[in-house]
Amino acid sequence: MVDYVLGVSDPQQWHSENLKMNADHYALWLRLLGGAKLITQVADEIGVGVHFNPFVTWNDRLLKYGVVRMDDLVSDILNWKRFYLSGRLQKPVQILADNLDIGNANSVNLRSALSAALLLLPSKFTQEDLFAKVCSLSYMGDLRMLFAEDKNKVKKIVQGQFDLFKSMYNPLIQEYEAKEFLRFSSYGNHQANVSQDCGLSVTFSLVSSLPPTIKSEMGMKLGENKTVNESGRVVSEVIVRSRDKAAKCLQNVLRRKVMISSARQAVSGLLAAGGVNAARYLGKKMEKAWKSWR
């Protein structure tokens, strides 16, 4: 099933037009329960701002599409407030239409993801380890990973799309290499050996590259310094006394954020997608998970 994400200016209006054009059981069921307004309220107030509709057939292909308010999408990309769609965009995707320069905005998301992955990795690792850590960020704490996801999901994603991950992250990797954050002992293959500077100054730089929401939550746990930047604005900087403590704090913040978002989205999907669709989708997920554990 191919996943699509549709960023729209007004989700309620989009859903209203979509329901008018559809006469299937799903659309009729939603219209009876309140239609577009219900979908939007459930997504915003219970879920994480996006409504997914699975098992849609279009041009002989099975797909799942998600509809999200464009402002919410950009906010999640830049701030990781809910860390849901931003996590999806840290993996290889194809942008089919881009009216608000999402590609450029997502470069900020990729830098944050790379910085977070490096903080969570040891001093030596392989290039495949790096991409696996990037890929795993949005699954840490995801309740579905306990029973409804393939246990080898991250490994399969990275190995199947290694070259795409490489093309996405290479400009940033080269930048970090030029700053001597990273050193490569070999290039080109999955097992290329990488070492990183784990000193406090580099650790501070990596933490500074994280989204504002994440830094704020880390600052509440590790402490903050208030400084005045060149424009006269007061900015907060996370106090980094230990790389291990910074990494552990980041891991806890992300795990909690992902756990909450995945739970909210699961409930939202159950309410808005309908019991039959939700049960069918969960069943497919659990079937794949069961096969991976056998």
Minimum mean pLDDT range among 17-21, 148-152, 274-278: 274-278
| pLDDT tens readout for residues 25-52 | 555 555 555 577 888 888 899 989 998 8
Residue 241 and residue 187 in one domain? yes
Q: What is the mean pLDDT of residues 74-88?
A: 94
Average pLDDT over all residues of the chain: 85
Q: What is the pLDDT of residue 149?
A: 62
pTM for the structure as a whole:
0.86
For residue 76, give both structure tokens: 């999640």
Strands 61-69 and 2-8: parallel
Residue 154 and residue 72 in one domain? no
Q: What is the pLDDT of residue 23?
A: 56
Residue 206 and residue 117 in one domain? yes
Residue 253 and residue 263 in one domain? no
Q: What is the pLDDT of residue 20?
A: 75
Confidence of residue 292 (pLDDT cuts 50, 70, 90): low
Burial class for 117, CB neighbours closer than 10 Å (0-12, 13-18, 19+): buried
Q: What is the pLDDT of residue 145?
A: 67
| pLDDT tens readout for residues 116-133 | 999 999 999 999 999 999
- Say which residue, 206 or 103, is predicted with more confidence: 206
Residue 197 and residue 224 in one domain? yes
Q: What is the pLDDT of residue 147?
A: 58
Q: Is the pLDDT of residue 277 over 60?
A: no
Domain residues for the domain of 42 are 2-99+258-292
Residue 163 and residue 192 in one domain? yes
253: left (phi over 0), alpha (psi -120 to 50) or beta: alpha
Residue 244 and residue 215 in one domain? yes
Q: Return the percent helix, strand and coil in the chain, to nearest 5.
A: 60, 15, 25
Number of domains in the chain: 2
